[in-house]
Structure 1
Amino acid sequence: MNETTNIVRLRQPDTIDDPLTDILRAGARKLLAQAIEIEAETFLASMRELKLPDGRERLVRHGYGPERAIQTGIGSVEVRRVKIRDRGAMGEDRIRFTSAILPKWARRTKSLDALLPILYLRGLSTGDFQEALAALLGKDAPNLSPSAITRLTGEWQSEYERWQARDLSARRYVYVWADGVYLQARMEDQAECILVLIGATPEGKKELVGFQTGVRESAQSWRELLVEVKRRGLTIPPRIAVGDGALGFWKALDELFPGTHHQRCWLHKTANVLNKVPKSVQPGMKGALREIYLAPTRAQAEVAIDLFAEAYQARYPKAVECVRKDQRALLAFYDWPAEHWIHLRTTNPIESVFATVRHRTVRTKGSLSPTTARLMVFKLVMAASKSWRRLMGENQLPKVIAGVRFKDGAEIFPAPAHNVA
């Protein structure tokens, strides 16, 4: 006799029923498996010409590695690595297949690795990581235990030390941007900030050049940074540097790279000028400053400065003096390609990067040592650097390197020689 019973399955504590996430995870597992299969087959197809003496293919599939869980933003995804065997060689001569999609020892996605320093900067201790990430990755998420997090921070330290010791003798930076960035992170000494140097390569790619804690207005702090990058081989001076006039950077730059031109940052200059006038005056004055740096020629910019002085000298002489004293350095960008003006007028390459970092860091009761703060922010910046945009008008950079002169953004061509009869 069959008895019908209604069994109601109760949800266990600390579990969340989420069919959508389950579907996404299942789909991700299938897509990842397909991508790995295609990658392996593509590799084998590229090696089909390699044969054994008896005519058989030298490289063949050799099953799969053990299944492992990869931690992703949607939780744990199980996957197996394709194994390929080289039947025609042994030892170092053997051809090995290494998956670019699934590196041999990968346990987490790169986006998840980037999340961990963010959480640390926000005040989360290593002991709290497991609980904080459980809601995102599942209660039993492996590879993210407190001990694993501690090991990971050790890896970040090693990565930072390798980056700091890298050889720069083969590098050249046409333009550089310098700034000292204060973060709302848990740093011990509020007088210190992150000194940042970003450079543009001859190909127009932006790279992080220098990075260390220091005092923004201190020439000695900047000197230490520049001495270090020069010691590691960066001997060719940048053509022009962009930064705030208050930086101790300029004195250090003139000592170590005396041939580099100066461009004052209009973003910082505008803020400094507006701080000298009442808020009611600031909107109109800000518009007048825009008229200066958006003028199409240096002559028109100089006229705009004269008009600015005429309008505000009587009531706000300090604001006018703030512009006048740096007039030459503020208008230096007119001697460079017009396509690059948008990059050279401000330190926006640094500001835009650290806007994201600032957004992700808040002041907390605890404090980080300068070493730990530098390490965590370094990881965030390196993650952000992968999406940095190239300079516009990169075809003009070879001309800049060659010393071609520009006036009001246009190339100056030498006057044709006239034959004397």
Structure 2
Amino acid sequence: MRAGPARGPPRRHKGLIAIAEGLRESTESWGDLLHDCRRRGMRDPEPVVGDGAMGLWKALAEVFPAARHQRCWVHKARNVTNALPKSTQPGATKAMQEIHNAEDRAHAEQAIEAFAKTDGTKWPKAVAKITEDWEELLAFYDFPAEHWIHLRATNPIEFTFSTVKLRTKVTRGAGSPTVALAMVFKLVESAQDRWRAITGAHLVALVRSGARFENGVLVERAEAAAV
């Protein structure tokens, strides 16, 4: 994260911290990138949000084992609907929205149970994509409610890569991997200025200090827990 403009109250923004050439999101490629982040002084992130690419999660467990895992709801919803007939997709989409938009973890878990009860018998593979990953899908409830909108999905990255893909198609290739990586870096570097500022930025320091949240509400500060 980087500091906001000098005038007015300070704000915190999402920001680019690393970019590297990789091989099909492999564990080795992710491991190299994460090790580089650690060498440059990065501590274990609190939550890490990502899709179902196993390479990331395996490398994360090795390099930043204390990091919490949060699965992206946009990717998960897409995976679920792709496993269903078109006629049932609107209902499944609504059910998943009721899960990740629930006011607290208890209601989210109840919505998961309702989804499994309604569609589990007829569409077990689709429902299993939710029930088997429910802990990582609901990890955001252990962070400030103001941050939930940022933690439920990897949208900033996805939107940025859409722009990158469009630009690379127009240029019809960059000539070499080095030039391609440089072009992608400049595109992402430019895009980060348009990323949404973090809601409740003042709570980031509390999260990093070890404060405990339940259903988005602060219940214990780190110093109080140490007494």
- Confirm or deny a common fold (TM above 0.5): yes
- Native 8 Å contact 1:266 1:330 kept in 2: yes
Letter in 1 for 2:64: F
Quote the Cα distance in structure 1 between the aligned partners of 2:148 and 2:178.
Answer: 36
Instruction: Specify which of 36, 59, 75 is matched with residue 228 of structure 1.
Output: 36
Q: Secondary structure of the equivalent of 1:213?
A: coil
Please, which of 139, 158, 168 is the counterpart of residue 351 of structure 1?
Answer: 158
Q: Which of 140, 156, 169 is 1:333 aligned to?
A: 140
Q: Are residues 376 and 364 of structure 1, via their aligned partners in 2, closer, same or farther at CA, if it must alter by over 3 Å?
A: closer
Code of the aligned partner of 1:362: K
SS at match of 1:403: coil
State the Cα distance separating 1:231 from its structure 2 match. Answer: 1.9
AA aligned opposite 1:225: L
Q: Larger C-alpha radius of gyration, 1 or 2?
A: 1
Q: How many residues align?
A: 214
Equivalent residue runs for 1:256-335 within 5 Å: 256-335=63-142
Q: Secondary structure at the match of 2:102?
A: coil
Higher strand residue share: 1
Q: Is the 8 A contact 2:168 2:174 kept in 1?
A: no
Can you give the 5+ residue segments of structure 1 that lack an aligned partner in the other structure?
1-170, 173-201, 415-421
Change in Cα spacing, 1:203 to 1:250, as seen in structure 2 (3 Å) is farther
Q: Which moved more, 1:383-392 or 1:220-229?
A: 383-392
CA shift, 1:203, in A, is: 5.5
Give the letter for the 1:308 counterpart: F
Residues 1:241 and 2:39 aligned together: no
Deviations along 1:90-119, one digit per CA (max 9) or x if unpaired, are xxxxxxxxxxxxxxxxxxxxxxxxxxxxxx
1:239-288 deviation line (CA, Å, top 9, x unaligned): 11110122411111111111111111101111111111112221111111
RMSD: 2.1
Structure 2 runs not aligned, ≥5 long: 3-9, 222-227
Supply the distance in 2 between the matched residues of 1:366 and 1:397 (Cα, whole angstroms): 40
What's the offset of the Cα at 1:397?
Answer: 1.2
8 Å CA contact retained: 2:81, 2:89: yes
Counterpart of 1:250 in structure 2 is 57
- Does 2:182 align with 1:370? no
CA contact (8 A) 2:34 2:60 kept: yes
Is the aligned partner of 1:204 residue 2:12?
A: yes
Supply the distance in 1 between the matched residues of 2:197 and 2:132 (Cα, whole angstroms).
Answer: 32
Distance 1:238 1:246 in 2: 18
1: CA distance between counterparts of 2:24 and 2:106? 33
Q: Return the alpha-carbon distance in structure 2 between the equivalents of residues 364 and 282 of structure 1.
A: 37
Q: Quick one: higher RCO (CA 8 Å, sep 6+), 1 or 2? A: 2
Change in Cα spacing, 1:347 to 1:216, as seen in structure 2 (3 Å) is farther
- CA change 1:289–1:322 in 2 (3 A) is same
Distance apart, 1:220 and its partner CA: 0.7
Residue 216 of structure 2 is matched in structure 1 by 409
Higher share of residues assigned helix: 2
TM-score (norm 1): 0.48
Distance 2:176 2:220 in 1: 54
Instruction: Name the % identity.
Output: 50
In 2, Cα distance between equivalents of 1:222 and 1:324: 27
Q: Secondary structure at the match of 2:16?
A: strand
Q: Name the TM-score, length of structure 2 as normaliser.
A: 0.87
CA separation of 1:348 and 1:366: change in aligned 2, threshold 3 A: closer
